[in-house]
Amino acid sequence: MASILIIDNEHPIRKDIYDYLKRDGYSITTTMNGAEGIQLAISNDFEFVMIEQELSDYNGLKVLQSITRVKPETACFIIANQPSFEIAVESANLGACSYIPKPLSYEGLSFQLSKGAKHRQLFIEARNLRKERYNNLLELSREKSMFKTVLNSINGGVLVINSKGELVYFNNASLVNLNLENLEPGEQILTKLPKQIIKQVSEYLLANKYTSKVSEIELEIIPHNKLYIQSVCSHIPRSTDNFSGVVLVTRNITQKREIEQVKSQFVSMVAHELKSPLVAVEGFLQIMQNPEIKLTEEKKDDFIKRSSERVKSLFQLVNDLLDISRMDKKEKYRELEVLNFSEIVQSTVSLFELECKSKNISVKIDAEENLPMIKVERVEISRVVSNLISNAIKYNKNDGEIVISLSGNENYLNFTISDSGIGIKEADKPKVFQEFFRALNKQTRNVSGTGLGLTIVKRIVESYHGKIQFESEYGIGSKFLIKLPIFKN
> Which residues lie near ligand ADP (CB under 6 A)?
387, 391-392, 395, 419, 421-424, 432, 437-439, 444, 449-455, 478
Please report how close the Cβ of residue 377 comes to ligand ADP at its closest, in angstroms. 20
Closer to ligand ADP at the Cβ: 118 or 275?
275
Minimum distance of ligand ADP from residue 269's CB (angstroms): 13
- Cα(111)–Cα(155) distance, rounded to whole angstroms? 68
Q: Which is nearer to ligand ADP, 50 or 432 (CB)?
A: 432
Identify whether the C-beta of residue 245 lies closer than 8 Å to the C-beta of residue 168: yes
- Least separation, in Å, of the C-beta of 392 and ligand ADP? 5
Comparison of 74 and 420: residue with beta carbon closer to ligand ADP: 420
Q: Which residues contact 307 (CB under 8 A, 6 or more apart)?
A: 280, 281, 284, 285
Closer of 227 and 460 to ligand ADP (Cβ): 460
- Between CA 265 and CA 277 the distance in angstroms is 19
Q: What are residue 28's phi and psi, to 5 degrees?
A: -120, 135
- Report the nearest approach of ligand ADP to the CB of residue 282 (Å): 23
CB of 462 to ligand ADP, least distance (A): 15
Cα 463 to Cα 469: distance, rounded to the nearest angstrom: 15
Q: How far is the CB of 254 from ligand ADP (least distance, A)?
A: 29
How far apart CA 254 and CA 240 sit, in angstroms, is: 37
Q: 348 or 391: whose CB is closer to ligand ADP? A: 391
Q: Which is nearer to ligand ADP, 171 or 455 (CB)?
A: 455
Query: Taking the complex as a whole, how short is the minimal distance between the CB of residue 376 and ligand ADP, in angstroms?
Result: 20
Residue 290 backbone zone (phi > 0: left; psi -120 to 50: alpha; other: beta) = beta
In the bound state, the residue with its beta carbon closest to ligand ADP is 449
Closer residue to ligand ADP in complex, CB, 8/273: 273
Length of the chain: 489
Bridge partners, residue 179, by sequence? none
